[in-house]
Structure 1
Amino acid sequence: MPMAVLCTLPANLHFSRMTIMPRSVITREHRMRVPYELKEGQSRLFHKLPSGLDMEVIFQKGLRYYRRNPNERRDRSENPPLVFIHGSFHAAWCWAEHWLPFFSQNGYDCYALSLLAQGESDAPAGPVAGSLQTHAADVADFIRKEVTLPPVLLGHSFGGLIVQYYIANIRSEQILETKSLHPDLAGAVLICSVPPSGNSGLVWRYLFSKPIAAFKVTRSLAAKGFQTSLPLCKETFFSAEMEDHLVLRYQKLMTESSRMPLFDLRKLNASLPVPSVPNASIEVLVLGANQDFIVDAEGLSETGKFYGVSPVCVEGNVGHDLMLDCSWEKGARVILSWLSGLNRQ
């Protein structure tokens, strides 16, 4: 039965009831002991992967609306869908909090995926959720079967590394003229992303230049200290201005989000750097945050140079979790402006 979605808009906007047909709506018990409550207009769906495992998708339809002034009428029907990929200790909910409503209200269909063993997704057999190859393949399977237009793929932190690997696979398939397993993209956004060489360079730079920070990062992430220490969680993921009650809420969600590691880091680092993508036709935005405690300015610069673009560093109250921090709208508006330019090409 179709699911009707009603969304709240400013008083000067007119819109009609929209109907979406999800493949499956959640009916099973939550995987997370602290489940994320969806916002108005959002649906939790599941995509069946070739492995038989279910991948959680939080979906929010883009609004097609017009203002009362006919001169301001806007046609949103050709906007590319947005597909969001989270990083370690996160899941689809991290995009649903602010950015899905924001981009939906600006006319973009939004899909936030929870990678396997994260959020409400099923877990594979074994000690880790997957590899760059398997995660990219899962994203590709979802796009191929569920998304009708070439999307913009947005990845955060280690999710950004998955997006980079996806782009490299597209280019490899084009060069070798092999079967296209990774559908084409309208563009890609790398948000506080692990650079193409991986996180080892970040770790070594911290060890030599900021040994105390290196210790904190190791304790927070490798030893999962962020799960029990509110100050450490705040310093790792957020700006100093982030309110403690919000940090506490997200700390609980992050603690519940990851039932097993995204990667085996040793195997991951052995498979890097990401293959180069000469003459890639995909437009890439590299976005960072000035208070990022994990990805430093040099790591941001490395990613920008790899794709031949100037990275954008958001100033203000934004840390590593740029999409959740108290100034989350700053990064969202940078992306929206970039998307507007993409649509005009």
Structure 2
Amino acid sequence: MAASLLSLFRPNLTSRKMTVKPLAVLNKSRKTRIPYELKRGQNRLFHQLPSGLNMEVIEQKGIGGNSNTNPDNGSIENPPLVFIHGSYHAAWCWAEHWLPFFSNCGYDCYALSLLGQGESDGPAGSFAGSLETHAGDIADFIQKKLKLPPVLLGHSFGGLIIQYFIANIRNKQLIEMKKLCPYPDLAGAVLVCCVPPSGNSGLVWRYLFSKPIAALKVTRSLAAKAFQTDLSLCKETFFTSTMEDHLVMRYQELMRESSRMPLFDLRKLNASLPVPSVPKSSMEVLVVGASDDFIVDAEGLDETGRFYGVSPICVEGVAHDMMLDCSWEKGAKVILSWLNALSR
């Protein structure tokens, strides 16, 4: 959203001389100067994609087995959970709180760093990818590494990638035409504070007309990347006001180090939206928002809920980075309750 806002106030800078870049070279050295230190029970793996590039995966297996007891069907194996981050984040944002929480509840957890983010390799070019390429990388990981259909959980722009994934699970024409990895079936999807299916343009214009000061703050924070150096602005953008400064500083540093490339070319992204519609009964989808979200407003949350024919849940007292905020347990418990009902 912020990059779209910024484009309203600056000239088009895309008409530059193009240079041919070599394919990215696999490099086992750290991509980030300040790598995220894993917690007990977590492993950092690298999944090699068909392109030859490596994608970072932080894994944490379920504790005490990964099954629930159903009175009618006996023991049912829990679906694995695959977490997809948004802009300026990477797999570490899930590893901090939600991977330990859900693994402790018996779910195998996998947090992916999309290309150009975290410790993943970066592709050639100026942008990390598109909805299509990111969704294809996720599909490749699921196809090759998981035995059961997973639940995909996506935050912010990561949620938009999942929406594209859902829309194309059975799109054989797209798969054949683009020679993509077939999108595997899912057990369900959770969209957390996510960009709505129409993209961020609606959010942009609503902010410009109804909250012009907030619009300028978001533009400065995200598009101009001022959140990387301005502590108070970083807190206002991603966290609630009660978040302790030392935690905001830690996450600010990790966000700065995580995003070596823009996740998308936003002009091309917006031109490809909205995501295709899907039958309302095709998949179980949970839409979760935050009452103190500075980026995705209530109307954006409602749009996503209407698209999937579900009533969104707005979690009180948390901000856009629900999985990192000081009340992170609130959102995690809402999702856990939904997951337990899904297994019954």
TM-score by length of 1: 0.87
Match of 2:330 in 1: 330
Cα displacement string for residues 322-342 of structure 1 (whole angstroms, at most 9, x for unaligned residues): 000000000000000000010
Q: Measure how far apart 1:280 and its partner are.
A: 4.5
Secondary structure in 1 aligned to 2:111? strand
Q: Measure how far apart 1:30 and its partner are.
A: 1.2
Secondary structure in 2 aligned to 1:288? strand
Aligned counterparts of 1:214 and 1:198: Cα–Cα separation in 2: 16
Cα displacement string for residues 234-283 of structure 1 (whole angstroms, at most 9, x for unaligned residues): 00000111111100000000000010100000000000000001244210
Q: Measure how far apart 1:79 and its partner are.
A: 0.1
> Structure 2 vs 1, CA of residues 175 and 218 (structure 1 numbering), >3 Å: closer, same or farther?
closer
Matched, 1:117 2:121: no
Cα displacement string for residues 288-310 of structure 1 (whole angstroms, at most 9, x for unaligned residues): 00000000000000000000000
Match of 2:163 in 1: 164
Contact 2:136–2:181, Cα closer than 8 Å, also in 1: no
Aligned counterparts of 2:192 and 2:28: Cα–Cα separation in 1: 32
Aligned counterparts of 2:174 and 2:213: Cα–Cα separation in 1: 45
Q: CA RMSD in A?
A: 2.1
Contact 1:76–1:107, Cα closer than 8 Å, also in 2: no
Contact 1:85–1:113, Cα closer than 8 Å, also in 2: yes
Secondary structure in 2 aligned to 1:45? strand
Matched, 1:99 2:98: yes
Match of 1:219 in 2: 220
Amino acid paired to 2:47: H
Aligned counterparts of 2:342 and 2:176: Cα–Cα separation in 1: 27
Match of 2:284 in 1: 283
Aligned counterparts of 2:239 and 2:298: Cα–Cα separation in 1: 16
Aligned counterparts of 1:28 and 1:175: Cα–Cα separation in 2: 34
> Structure 2 vs 1, CA of residues 174 and 133 (structure 1 numbering), >3 Å: closer, same or farther?
closer
Amino acid paired to 2:299: E
> Structure 2 vs 1, CA of residues 76 and 253 (structure 1 numbering), >3 Å: closer, same or farther?
farther
Same amino acid, percent of matched pairs:
77
Contact 1:90–1:258, Cα closer than 8 Å, also in 2: yes
Aligned counterparts of 1:173 and 1:284: Cα–Cα separation in 2: 22
> Structure 2 vs 1, CA of residues 268 and 177 (structure 1 numbering), >3 Å: closer, same or farther?
closer
Match of 2:264 in 1: 263
Aligned counterparts of 1:53 and 1:227: Cα–Cα separation in 2: 27
Amino acid paired to 1:337: S
Q: Measure how far apart 1:28 and its partner are.
A: 3.1
Q: Which runs of 5+ in 2 are unaligned?
A: 1-26, 67-73
Aligned counterparts of 1:175 and 1:263: Cα–Cα separation in 2: 20
Amino acid paired to 1:334: V
Aligned counterparts of 1:177 and 1:280: Cα–Cα separation in 2: 25
Total equivalences in the alignment: 311
Contact 1:292–1:319, Cα closer than 8 Å, also in 2: yes
Cα displacement string for residues 85-118 of structure 1 (whole angstroms, at most 9, x for unaligned residues): 0000000000000000000000000000000000
Match of 2:273 in 1: 272
Amino acid paired to 1:109: D
Q: Which consecutive segments of 4 or more residues in structure 1 shift more than 3 A?
A: 173-180
Matched, 1:55 2:55: yes
Aligned counterparts of 1:183 and 1:235: Cα–Cα separation in 2: 38
Cα displacement string for residues 159-201 of structure 1 (whole angstroms, at most 9, x for unaligned residues): 0000000000014349999997000000000000000000111
Aligned counterparts of 2:184 and 2:122: Cα–Cα separation in 1: 25
Match of 1:42 in 2: 42
Aligned counterparts of 2:242 and 2:35: Cα–Cα separation in 1: 26
Amino acid paired to 1:97: E
TM-score by length of 2: 0.87
Match of 1:209 in 2: 210
Secondary structure in 1 aligned to 2:182? coil
Quick one: higher RCO (CA 8 Å, sep 6+), 1 or 2? Answer: 2
Q: Which runs of 5+ in 1 are unaligned?
A: 1-26, 67-74
Q: Measure how far apart 1:63 and its partner are.
A: 1.1
Aligned counterparts of 2:198 and 2:251: Cα–Cα separation in 1: 29
Secondary structure in 2 aligned to 1:170? coil
